[in-house]
Structure 1
Amino acid sequence: MEQGRTYGEVWKAGARRLAEAGIDDAEAEAGAELLILHVLGIGKAEMLRDLREPFPEAKRQAWETMLARRAAGEPAQYVTGEQYFYGRRFAVTPAVLIPRPETELLAEAVLEEAARLVAARKARLSEELAEAAGVDGTGESANGMAASDDAPKMELRVLDVGTGSGALAVTLKLEQPGWQVTASDLSREALEVAAGNASALGASVRFVQGDLLAPFLAGGALAGERIDILVSNPPYIPSSDLPGLQAEVREHEPHLALDGGPDGLAPYRRMAEQLSGLAELPAMVAWEVGIHQAEQAAALLREAAAWDEIRVVRDYAGIDRHVLALRF
């Protein structure tokens, strides 16, 4: 890299180098942007403001090294060691899947539907308390107390299965501090990354190693504990499709987090079967699924239990991406 070049010139030159390495133009531009922001330690707004500032010589070697790694096919998020999710910085390593933007929609859907669940439960409890207390038309019982005075707080217990980087579990805990959030993963290395993210972001999340719902089943470390919300973004790529994935995904992201078995539905099938072994059926099951899997995943949930509602949420590309089963 020539000395005396500006932020803008270095950025554009980096994008060209990535494009010449065979990376899609849009991804090359985005990747170069992510790398230069990381190297400079600034935000996009600051860089756009200072595009004509000279690129610091002290940062040149770090920039060249990171650019070479990205040009060789390594995902930019692994090069920088970070990915933003729901506006927060999460550390990522090759031990975990890189959080995707569409998974943010799963977090939003869970938060939205949880509000409906809580409202329905509170209404039902208020009716039950009113009936038990003999509340009159004014909303007060014979002793002058409102029926809702004794209503318990709605503290939801959430389980994130296959947590990876912890993005979902940590996000839900930070958005709803009153929730009790547990995150599980089969990979010890992934749990270490997730626990580090929870600590860095100040989220009190409990982590447990285990295969899908196994920790909550008979003989498991958490057997008998209630789960109100079960959320999961498990592996959903059919095994035969793995060789056809983009090289940067196939060669760098953990296959344990990608391989969903022969039809990509193995984790969903097993979780659906495991539901009957829980202490109580969750009030919500929320899954992220692969392309053309939503209908089959919904069918698995219908076969496993009786639900009041099953809905499908589309991602930014209009693909049926999330399946939510609800019990009010």
Structure 2
Amino acid sequence: MNGQPMTAREAYIEASSFLRLRQVPDAAICVELLLQHLMQWDRSTMLMRFEEPFPQAKMSEWLLLVERKAAGEPVQYIIGEQEFYGLPFQVNAAVLIPRPETELLVEQVVKRGNELWPGGAPKLVDIGSGSGAIPITIAVQCPLWQISSSDISLAALEVARANAELNGVAAKINFSQSDLLDVYIQEQQQIDILVSNPPYIASGDIEELQREVKSFEPRLALDGGADGLILYRRMCEQLMQLPAFPRLVAFEVGQGQTEAVSQMLADLQNWEQIEVIVDYAGIARHVIAVKKL
């Protein structure tokens, strides 16, 4: 990283080598994303212009971006965005970075909701808005559905609302601050579909996570209590305080948690079917409970 004139390709190669020496995972991919962000290029433009001189006016900014990545900051926070289900989402340190496995949760909710309410407008509540990836994607996919989403973090809700605007569904989603289901219980709202990807990392395991996660992503969105299951217990308890049980409940869970969460739902004695969905990595990742009638 000597700051001498070079081509874009040479800057890419040098930065990739630097990050690999700093043991940054997926160094080349990160550098590619940083370069596209800096130059405002898409990937095809980057490849076409790889041999052009790297602009000296951008060198200081480039070095800063690469240093931030070398320090462990997630590239999504550095560039301020992450794609989810083909949609753009702004992200910052107030929210978790949307993960590909959560796309499967959205797929399951949309598929099963359309089966239960063909052509209808069920009321869906998403607990833990974060970036808004879940409710916004569902609002895009199912424009007739009535969608609400809540988070305890006002900073996260600010990001989610901005992303709803970005994706053209701000008028379709009611965002509110709430500790889990509290606001819906207070208002005695009917909920047809409950979906949540809550914090599920056991408190004692957070320090064992990758540096990019434990040092940069919000602990409030990671910490699931002593065994990682406290928020599922609370939501299952809160379900009994609603006017009626939802007909569809869909939870994302941590590795090894599906049995415990499935049992919590089974103890409510309300469902005709409780199913576990496996993610792309072969990990049992989602628990779906359905009441058909």
- Using structure 2 for the length normalisation, give the TM-score: 0.94
- State the distance in 1 between where 2:136 and 2:221 align: 18
Q: Pairwise mapping of residues 104-123 of structure 1 onto structure 2 (< 5 A)? A: 104-119=103-118
One-letter code of the match for 1:243?
E
Q: Partner of 1:323 in structure 2?
A: 287
Q: Which one of the candidate residues 159, 178, 201 is aligned to 1:210?
A: 178
Equivalent residue letter for 1:292: G
RMSD: 1.4
Contact 2:7 2:50 in 1 (8 A): no
Q: Secondary structure at the match of 1:159?
A: strand
1:52 Cα deviation from its structure 2 partner: 2.5
Report which stretch shifted further, 249-258 or 41-50: 41-50
* Percent identity of equivalent pairs: 45
CA deviation after TM superposition for structure 1 residue 92, in Å: 0.9
**Gaps in structure 2 of 5+ consecutive residues:** none
Partner of 2:136: 170
Q: Aligned AA for 2:143?
A: P
- Is 1:154–2:120 an aligned residue pair? yes
Give 5+ residue unaligned stretches, structure 1. Answer: 120-152
Q: 1:195 aligns with which of 151, 158, 161?
A: 161
Question: Deviation at 1:300?
Answer: 0.6
Mapped to 1, the partners of 2:278 and 2:291 lie a distance apart of: 21
Give how far 1:54 is off. Answer: 3.1
Q: How many pairs does the alignment contain?
A: 288
Secondary structure of 1:182's match?
strand
Tell me which residue corresponds to 1:66.
65
Counterpart in the other structure of 1:39: 38
Does 2:6 match 1:4? yes
Secondary structure of 1:109 counterpart: helix
Distance 2:286 2:76 in 1: 24
SS of residue in 2 equivalent to 1:155: coil
Q: Deviations over 1:231-284 (max 9, x none)?
A: 100000001101111122111111110000111010111101111111221111
C-alpha distance after superposition, 1:11-55 (max 9, x if no partner):
22222111111213xx21221121111112122233234333333
Output the amino acid matched with 1:51: F
Superposed structure 1 runs of 4+ greater than 4 Å apart? none
The yes-or-no answer on 1:254 pairing with 2:254 is no
Distance 1:208 1:305 in 2: 30
Partner of 1:16: 17
Q: Secondary structure, in 3 states, of the residue corresponding to 1:55? A: coil
- TM-score normalised per structure 1: 0.84
Equivalents in 1 of 2:55, 2:149: separation in Å? 42
1:264 corresponding residue in structure 2: 228
Aligned mates of 1:300, 1:266 — CA distance in 2: 11
- Give the Cα separation in 1 of the matches to 2:215 and 2:82: 19
2:254 counterpart residue number: 290
Q: Distance in 2 between matches of 1:309 and 1:116?
A: 14
Quote the Cα distance in structure 1 between the aligned partners of 2:44 and 2:287. 36
Cα distance per residue 1:48-80 (max 9 Å; x no partner): 343333333333222211111111111111111
Aligned equivalents of 1:178 and 1:77: distance in 2? 31
Q: Distance in 1 between matches of 2:107 and 2:55?
A: 40
Partner residue of 1:143?
none
Q: Equivalent residue for 2:87?
A: 88
Task: State the structure with more CA Rg.
Answer: 1
Residue of 193, 196, 204 corresponding to 1:229: 193
User: How far apart are residue 305 of structure 1 and its match?
Assistant: 3.3
SS at match of 1:14: helix
